[in-house]
Structure 1
């Protein structure tokens, strides 16, 4: 391992730990079905470390029988969330027990251990799952999103234990599975906590924010498939009008719908209810995948647009952005009415998954403490919001836990080629989080 001039011995250990998580290749199996790849190896590494620290450690499996009351809410959509087995993929929860738990404040450190795939591995500067350390940087899939955050939290707890400054309140830790597709692991842990009478006062989600700013909210996302129907025919001839039985290219009609979505996004970009002062990036409906056609010389019979629709905390109704959904469906109806073919063959709308959101008040006592510790460490302390999503909503809704987000790395590199995290940020993170935990739980 390089960069020994930068790292003290303990700092080297946290870097090695993050590298071991990257090398375990904890890809969410939804993206690599049939390859025998999952978060299981990373969870074993994490569990072993937590047990080494002498913490109370719990395995919290995803059991859909116990989650039946949450059907079609964020985290559990039958036929989608349960499409891939959770066997051998438990959440890992641990507790550093306080000396006076009943009379002191508690805190939850949490984040996900799964990462997205790296199908473009040949284009990376460093192989995505080798965990290369070079020039003060950890390279690899999950380095920012969010294995460095998880590793930093664990070593913050180790720093607390080694300091001998035992907190009065409980410090909880949770390594969550399946955040990258559906958030089912988070739902299972929040439900388990509720059934177990566990309700941390506040939480730190370790998604990458950099170590100079603190996020107080994230957006919700809804995944929806829009299926555009056409009529197949020979591609190498100009078809008759569809009223005379001629072919209709579903891909061309999908382009029409995409152009209409561009206009919707332009409208949303100007609306105050679609933005937040801590995010300053309006909610949008973004096409992420296109699937259409069945033969190189045929007009497409159908084309499916997969769309990621963003929304804000104030737009949620029991974790679902009902008003946003209704607006989007009404928008599609009007777009179809304006097209002669789609007027009689309207698109089909299939809602797939929802991921909820959360927000902590800016004047919360924990926010003030957190900002103070960041400023003491590096002079930062700006408040922000995360443009994407992190799994905090269920902790607030089921456990009353107010959730912040603070983690090493840069969200701009998440899900991207050549993902990385600065070692300096990781070391600062361990120090800041350990200080925040001790101060809040004292």
Structure 2
């Protein structure tokens, strides 16, 4: 007679088509998040309504609500997840609880259903919102980041329910919006009271347990030059002549490279579970006003990483902000103009990070379940930001990342996830829930 774990594994394998169908249904909703939340279409709400129907069919008690962004910001200003200007009218969060028989440990399965815009259509081989199954892969926007993971966690519960697996602990299921623009959806979810004894956030990790993620700082370095005619011999700047902001921008970019080389060998900027040291990544550069004029202004947008060990007293990246500001100031000291007219940094976003210790009981239980699913139990770091810090910290729900697909494909055109990864992820989650909540 097959054991319960063998029965669960066999049922997951038999449900591969159902897993693909579920993911395809989710991808077909264009749940695109926007910098201006009032421009968002109905895709987020439609996706959440679909998931709500699936949960209620399984016996979940559900809660679908539009968070109050301004009220959340007022309540949590200066804390992780609190981002000014985010609103949620017509952009609901979804939470649900499936009660266990009582006395067992609870688990929260959580993810986000918002996706980034697909970009130029010519970069896609398929319509990003018309999912295609081809050569063992599901193609479409969000298959990796992270509707693939949401499909897996939903199917894991559906399969356990279909097998009448007895669970003592509750299953909490949450899907949020606004993750791709700062994480306020997760803040709203935790503030709503959703929590458990442990959690799995199904961000893409190539089916590796990632109890660690980076914190992220977005900043704008502003450099003020003095405009002037680009084709004429200039006067010296100290006698009223122009100062080329493009040249000053080059100097600042070189300075960022210097700091990155320093961080490469700094123990504080490295973690044994991370593949790379913390970095400052230049993601946007803009300068100039006219083709025949020297640039009077330049802006450099940066994306900087930090580790949980570097968090400040508010559980955010204030210490690293000050470190970067000091470095920008020192770069300016090497130039006589910038010494008198220093560049300044305006901070756009601070997204927190978290680390769940390897000896946490849930991490160890999850490793056993992953091994039973014939996957590697080795722990890994999640190089990007994820929202695990909000349920882990504010919600007191130690949460790890674990999901299907290559995370490097996130936000790229021609996003795709293998059916094999989806099946393996569903199996590992189902086995973890059974072990933890039994």
Q: TM-score range with shorter-chain normalisation?
A: over 0.9
- CA distance in 2: counterparts of 1:379 and 1:421, whole angstroms: 17
Which structure 2 residues correspond to residues 199-278 of structure 1 after superposition, within 5 A? 199-211=195-207, 213-278=208-273
Alpha carbons 2:206, 2:403 under 8 Å: kept: yes
Match of 2:98 in 1: 96
What is the CA-CA distance between 1:254 and the residue it aligns to?
A: 1.2
Match of 2:3 in 1: none
Given the two structures, how large is their TM-score scaled by the length of structure 2?
A: 0.93
Alpha carbons 1:61, 1:188 under 8 Å: kept: no
Match of 2:368 in 1: 372
* Residues 1:40 and 1:238: Cα distance change in structure 2 (over 3 Å): farther
* Residues 1:379 and 1:113: Cα distance change in structure 2 (over 3 Å): closer
Alpha carbons 1:95, 1:173 under 8 Å: kept: yes
Moved more, 175-184 or 357-366: 357-366
- Does 2:336 correspond to 1:347? no
Moved more, 364-373 or 384-393: 364-373
Q: Structure 1: 5+ residue runs without aligned partners?
A: 1-6
Residue aligned with 2:146, SS: helix
Match of 2:76 in 1: 70
* Residues 1:380 and 1:99: Cα distance change in structure 2 (over 3 Å): same
Q: Structure 2: 5+ residue runs without aligned partners?
A: 1-11
| Residues 355-400 of structure 1 deviation map (CA, whole Å, 9 limit, x = unaligned) | 1111111112212221122122224211111111110111122221
* Residues 1:180 and 1:400: Cα distance change in structure 2 (over 3 Å): same
Residue aligned with 1:144, SS: coil
What is the CA-CA distance between 1:120 and the residue it aligns to?
A: 2.5
Pick from 23, 26, 30 the counterpart of residue 28 of structure 2: 23
- Does 2:395 correspond to 1:393? no
Pick from 286, 300, 303 the counterpart of residue 298 of structure 2: 303
What is the CA-CA distance between 1:59 and the residue it aligns to?
A: 1.6
- CA distance in 2: counterparts of 1:138 and 1:75, whole angstroms: 32
- CA distance in 1: counterparts of 2:348 and 2:273, whole angstroms: 28
Moved more, 14-23 or 62-71: 62-71
- CA distance in 1: counterparts of 2:386 and 2:72, whole angstroms: 23
- CA distance in 2: counterparts of 1:177 and 1:206, whole angstroms: 14
- Does 2:326 correspond to 1:330? yes
Given the two structures, how large is their TM-score scaled by the length of structure 1?
A: 0.92
- CA distance in 2: counterparts of 1:302 and 1:66, whole angstroms: 36
Alpha carbons 1:98, 1:171 under 8 Å: kept: yes
Residue aligned with 2:434, SS: helix
| Residues 273-327 of structure 1 deviation map (CA, whole Å, 9 limit, x = unaligned) | 1010011310011111112222222222211111111000011122212221111
